Amino acid sequence: MAEILLSLVVVIPLAASVILFLSAGRLSGFLIGAIACGAISLSAIFSAILAGLLHSQLSPSLHVFFWEWMRTADFSTGIGFTLDPLSLVMILIVTWVGLLIHLYATRYMAGDPGLARFFGCMTLFVASMLLLVLSSDLLCMFIGWEGVGLCSYLLIGFWYTEPANLAAARKAFIITRVGDAAMLCGLLLLATEASSLQVDTLLQTVTAAKISQSALTFSTLLILVGTLAKSAQLPFQSWLPDAMAGPTPTSALIHAATMVTAGIYLIARLHVLFTATPLVLTIMAVVGTLTLFLAACNALVQSDLKRILAWSTVSQLGYMFLALGTGLWQVALFHLMTHAFFKALLFLCAGAIITRVHHEQDIFRMGGLFRTMPGIALAFLAGATSLAGFPLLTAGFYSKELILSSVWNASFFLAPDLILSGHVFWVVALAGAFLTSLYISRCFLLVFMGKAKTHESGQTPLLMAIPLGCLSFLALFGGMMEMPDALAHVHLFTEMVDPAHALPSADEPLWLLLVGGGIPVLGALLAWIFWGQRNPVLHETSDEPAPPQTSQPVPILAACLLPLFRIPSWLGRYDFPARLSKGVSILINGMNTFALQFRACIFMNVSHQTLMTLRQGNLLMAYTQNGRVRWYAAWIAGGLCASLALAGLT
């Protein structure tokens, strides 16, 4: 029975997508929504049943082999599924969070002429993600990996009549394809060394040290590049904010349950490979740390509601990569789960807000919406506090605190005699937590508090309100299954996903917990001083049409100092010495000018050198690929003669 249910979990959403694509819009909107939601509901129910079956049986995993795909003298691969605690957690997140998003989308997308195409892509998205997390062979997993990339392209460019949407879809597709090519090279290198891409066989080969250290390091580095591109980490982060061109349910699905979490899952699945290459773990931690801080700085200076949430996703994924860099994949998976709850909630709240304010997305043109939509405001507040990690009350606090404590006690390998302390990473991660609280509190205050700047109309339909209520509960209480020992000895999540290897117990000092819990509160208080008072310190308005935002990186220094730009007026309001105010203003303006000039110099030089290199390469290609068959024959003959000469010499 378990084998049948395991296959149906993937087959049912796949079959629903085929039906919806073949219907070509001939079905009614109600029937389209019923087919999509019914398929995801069955997958979610079967996932819950499989959880009970896996818990009741003695074996910690369930393997189902369907058929052999290919076989050579030194290599074989097949189609099969593996259900263990890791894949079980992922399919529960994908199906249940995906179900809530599908329910929301049936009402949000009602009346759209491309409804069948939309739900066909959404159900195919879920099926591809389920195939990815359940596959027992990395080559089969790569099919699901490419499937989520294809679906993201189709959904980001869903409203294809707008050129900006098509550009965003192409950008996401091209950037992730670069990572996919690197990851495929890494998989082929592993196949050459281990003669198999079966996950269990591969991990056993690595454990037995049958793969050379150089080949293992190079292959894991290539796989890491693929995961960085898929999860929008530096230097591939720019595609994810632009992906907001798609419908809001698409954004919620990409950011919460599919696509960007695929890279986190793959590293967790192959954690034995990465543990055997400590230098790659250090690179992973460094990239994650830089990403979480830079993305938080970018979120602080955005005015588009969905782009703020998009940059926050990039930042939270950076936390997950930092946790993976410590070698504790269970910690990253726990934050992945809580992030799915509060990020899906925030995006769905954003969709409800945008719909009721006539598709306005500029937060400076909103304001005062708490009085007209208190339910949406409370749901958004639940997601915002969980994202910020408010202590004791939210799921985000427990997962982020687990990451901070893990980083504090970690050490990172650079060279045989050079070990980097985790304290440096902890400081940057704590600064990122402060910025997270600052920008999401700013967003809440500007949208829901203060004076009303737009006209709100309509009511939030029940099918949109039910998912918001469920996700609000999960965003607040979904993290209490894993708590710091200073609060309670509760480790249900880590014991569930990896019962054989519990997290190492560390004597976490109480001050570490207090600092981690106090920083989000401090950020919220500072946001209230800047934007929440009746006469706020920072008066930011948007009377003129906002220019289109691009995903060009914001200077870190300028972004961090943005709240300080108007401190001189604040000091003057409270009768501080005028000379001090003027001095601070000159200092900040000078530092900001220096940062902008430095950035312009660097980027201009890099872009100029890149352009010149591409031009020279283009001239070379034009010279060699000129369409003349005689030239091609001459090159072939010359290459053959050179090869024969080299063979004769050796």
- Per-residue pLDDT of 118-127, as tens digits, reads 999 999 999 9
User: 564 pLDDT exceeds 50?
Assistant: no
Q: On the CB side of 401, how many CA atoms lie within 13 Å of its CA?
A: 32
Burial, 612: exposed, middle or buried (Cβ in 10 Å; 0-12, 13-18, 19+)? Answer: exposed
φ, ψ for residue 628 (rounded to 5)? -95, 115
Question: Between 20 and 551, where is the model more confident?
Answer: 20
| 592 pLDDT tier (thresholds 50, 70, 90) | low
Token pair belonging to 245: 């061109």
Supply the DSSP symbol for 362.
B
Supply the DSSP symbol for 540.
-
Give buried/exposed letters for 249-273 (b at 16+ CB in 10 A, else e): bbbbbbbbbbbbbbbbbbbbbbbeb
Helix (H) / strand (E) element for 619: namely: helix 578-624
DSSP helix/strand/coil, 70: strand
Q: In the predicted model, what is the mean pLDDT of residues 628-632?
A: 75
φ, ψ for residue 65 (rounded to 5)? -110, 125
Three-state SS letters, 548-568 = CCCCCCCCHHHHHHHHHCCHH
Burial, 106: exposed, middle or buried (Cβ in 10 Å; 0-12, 13-18, 19+)? Answer: buried
User: 558 pLDDT exceeds 60?
Assistant: no
Q: What is the pTM of this model?
A: 0.81
Site of tokens 């954003």? 350
pLDDT tens digit sequence for 3-31? 888 889 999 999 999 999 998 778 888 99
Burial, 572: exposed, middle or buried (Cβ in 10 Å; 0-12, 13-18, 19+)? Answer: middle
Q: In the predicted model, what is the mean pLDDT of residues 35-43?
A: 94
Site of tokens 């920072």? 538
pLDDT tens digit sequence for 137-182? 998 899 999 999 999 999 998 888 888 889 999 988 988 988 999 9
Question: Between 246 and 309, where is the model more confident?
Answer: 309
Burial, 347: exposed, middle or buried (Cβ in 10 Å; 0-12, 13-18, 19+)? Answer: buried
Site of tokens 């408010």? 390
- Note if the bond before 536 is cis, omega within 30 degrees: no
pLDDT tens digit sequence for 62-103? 888 888 888 877 777 888 898 988 999 999 999 999 999 999
Residue 605 contacts residue 567 (beta carbons within 8 Å): no
pLDDT tens digit sequence for 404-450? 988 988 888 887 778 888 889 999 999 999 999 999 999 999 998 87
Q: Which amino acid is at 134?
A: L
The whole-angstrom distance between residue 131's C-alpha and the CA centroid of its chain comes to 19
Q: Which amino acid is at 435?
A: L
Give buried/exposed letters for 30-45 (b at 16+ CB in 10 A, else e): eebbebbbebbbbbbe
DSSP per-residue letters across 484-537: -TTT---BHHHHHH-TTSPPPP----HHHHHHHHHHHHHHHHHHIIIIISSS-S
Distance, CA of 598 to CA of 594 (rounded, Å) = 6
Distance, CA of 16 to CA of 381 (rounded, Å) = 35
User: 590 pLDDT exceeds 80?
Assistant: no
Distance, CA of 478 to CA of 484 (rounded, Å) = 15
Distance, CA of 246 to CA of 351 (rounded, Å) = 11
Cβ within 8 Å of residue 247, ≥6 positions away:
105, 108, 109, 118, 155, 158, 159
Q: Which amino acid is at 589?
A: N
DSSP helix/strand/coil, 238: coil
Supply the DSSP symbol for 392.
T
Token pair belonging to 393: 């009350």
Residue 23, CA distances (Å) to 102, 120, 156, 161, 378 in order: 19, 10, 22, 22, 39
User: 234 pLDDT exceeds 60?
Assistant: yes
Residue 573, CA distances (Å) to 219, 357, 605 in order: 59, 35, 43
The share of the chain scoring above pLDDT 90, in percent, equals 37
Task: Give the pLDDT score at 550.
Answer: 44
Residue 450, CA distances (Å) to 363, 528, 533, 565 in order: 12, 11, 8, 22
Give, rounded to a whole angstrom, the gap between the first and last alpha carbons of the chain. Answer: 61
62-71 vs 76-83, strand pairing mode:
antiparallel
DSSP helix/strand/coil, 462: helix
pLDDT tens digit sequence for 328-339? 898 999 999 999
Distance, CA of 559 to CA of 78 (rounded, Å) = 50
Token pair belonging to 528: 């209230």
Task: Give the pLDDT score at 25.
Answer: 74
Numbers of helices and strands, H then E, in the chain: 25, 4
**What rounded mean pLDDT belongs to the chain?**
83
